[in-house]
Structure 1
Amino acid sequence: MSDVVVDGNDVSGFVDFNADIVNKLKQLNEVGLCSASFDIYKDDTRKLDLTVNDEITDKHYTACNRAKIELSKQSAQNKDHFICSTWADLTNYTGYLLNPVEAVYISDLNKILTKDSKDAKFTTYLNVSEVCNLVKDVAHANKGNTYTILCGQSLDITLSVDDSVLSADIDIGFYDELLGKDQHKEAMNSLVREALYNLLSDLDPKSRLSHLVNHFNAFTSKLLVSYEQYVRNYSFDKVRKEYREKATEYIDKVNKVFDEVAAKTFSIPLGVWFATSQMQATDSMESLQFFKNISYCVMVFFLVVVVCWNLLGQFATLSATESEYKDLFKRLGDELEGGQKDELRTLKQDLDTRKLRVWLKLVATMVFAIVLLGFTVLVTYKAITLPIVAG
């Protein structure tokens, strides 16, 4: 558009007159951005007054080559296109900060700007919109264009910016990477609120958004450091919870290794007591008492063998349990930093101590069972070899 004149909310100027321009004028008129009437010219001579609803034929296009059109600066919000004199006309609307336009015509620049135009200020404008939506998303409440964040104390941020923000170099690459994730979303929002409070609490509410935009890269750097620290702490807490639960589970497993056979071991002294109390001296290998003595001894022998067999099985169970918890604690230890391994090391040492105690109990029980078996054999031997003294 040439010979642009701005008069209040109207922007007029000359464009080429052709069918394509007429179609665009119809579209602009439908959304309230253009007057329905326009004048057509042959060079500098005005020829006719038309409207977008008139029947326009090739005769008109042949007779005239220019059209004077009148655009309307938009005051309504939440539309995809905007016509204005300066950038300030656009950024003064909160609606266009939260919902950026797809295209804007700025009469002072005589340019139509879109995201495909690669204009630095329009790109920054889109990034500023992302920052505004960040504030909106983490805010607890809003009144008009002022959003309130609660972080110990309230922080009001007014969605208004000055011209300097469109010259800022804003990197919002982290936005989708971090805030777009469902994982840690609430924690991330809390970190953003805390970072906003630390950066903006000493400033006037109306200047806070501009200050945030101008220092956004430094803001995101600190935020990322806080997030990485949170993830490390979160991972540590998660691992700590896991190894505490597993430690309790393996303590129970280790203790049960002996508990499962403890009741069975009581059958050995009971069997020995019963067998020895029933044995009587005999001087004949053909007597009934002789065979009773032998059967009692065999019974005790069988009982000891069964119990020892179970005890040997528990050694294998204990060894497998030890291998399990050592592998688990090694994996969990690899996920922790040096200073975080102390509690894990203590729990492992406690498990090792408990394992050793159970191992010693199993060994002592086997030795005790064998000793009782030997005692039974001795009593049996005495019962069948010692001579009977006549009364």
Structure 2
Amino acid sequence: MDSADLKAQTKKIQYLGSHAHQRAVDSDRPQHHSKSYAQRLENNQSPPLYTQYPTWQVSMPKRVSSHTSPSESPLLPPKRENKSLLSASPPPPIPEDLLKQSCGNLVTWLGGPYAVLLQIAAPGIALGSCTHSRFQTHPISRFRRTAAFIMAVVHGTEEQKALICGAIKKQHSFINGPSYTATDPELQKWTAATLFVAGQLTQDLLSVDQNPMPRAQKEVLCQQFGRFATALDMPAEMWPSSLEEFEAYFDEQIRTIEITEASKKVANILLREMELPWLLIWTLPVMRVLMAVWLPARIRMAFGLPDPRGWLVWAAYWVVVLSIWCANWLMSGRVKVVIVSWMKKDMARAAEDIRVHGRWMI
């Protein structure tokens, strides 16, 4: 076959193909209706489907070929991927040392009075404070020693931690009586437990962001707070192994702890008779307002604090809380860093004094 015949055959095939395509298109078109659109409306008959809506609003299903599997049928809705599971961001990683972050937050330190009042509810701690502590006449010195101990455990070197904890254990060895001793591991456990609860309470209530810590992080932080007890020779196995176990222990202590006259006496000194500098006298009524709302009812009534359901106490409480929020929000991060740095330096000076003189100099 020469080239002329090949071209002729090609044109013939194209011609027949175009006519076949036109016939297929014509067969898909709707047939002409004998009745007009107006006649159908008069007879209450609906117009043909293709005249009811514009063609761009009608999506006719495609023909399913014999080669199409049921799962690939265009009549079935398309499969959609669950992007919510794929795009969900993983939970944020837990910081290695939440204890440093917690103690570096100044709001945490506002829970100090709450922790101390819970501690002195224990008879042994109350008796030891009555007979061996100078907290009433030297409150600033007492606070600096407590802060030095916390900073040594959290931020100090091994030498600083050993010096400060050694000085505290040496003092505790002389604090004992017929029914108590400062080296009792149960009292050390209770002291560390109150620090953890007080820190969580103040962070949840007084932080500016008002974002409570996730429970997974609380679980880790609870174990890290056990360092304050083990640093004073409490056996590590005595500390609760989980947050749930800790909560059960703390609730049991609150229900069963015996509040003695010694506890009431120390609480009265802390809340009303502390010999503070005149610039800090205003902190006593503020502390009474906060403790009236925060303390458990059983301990609050024993310490002679007012009922928080009274409108005057409640109004004063929210004035105090809003003031703390504003102060925390207005305080720049640099100021907070300076305060924490000063506490670290004070801890380092205390450790150096103990190394040189063999005792506290603050």
Task: Check whether TM > 0.5.
Answer: no
CA radius of gyration, larger in: 1
State the TM-score, normalized to the length of structure 2.
0.23
Relative contact order, CA 8 A, sep 6+: which one is greater?
A: 2
State the TM-score, normalized to the length of structure 1.
0.22
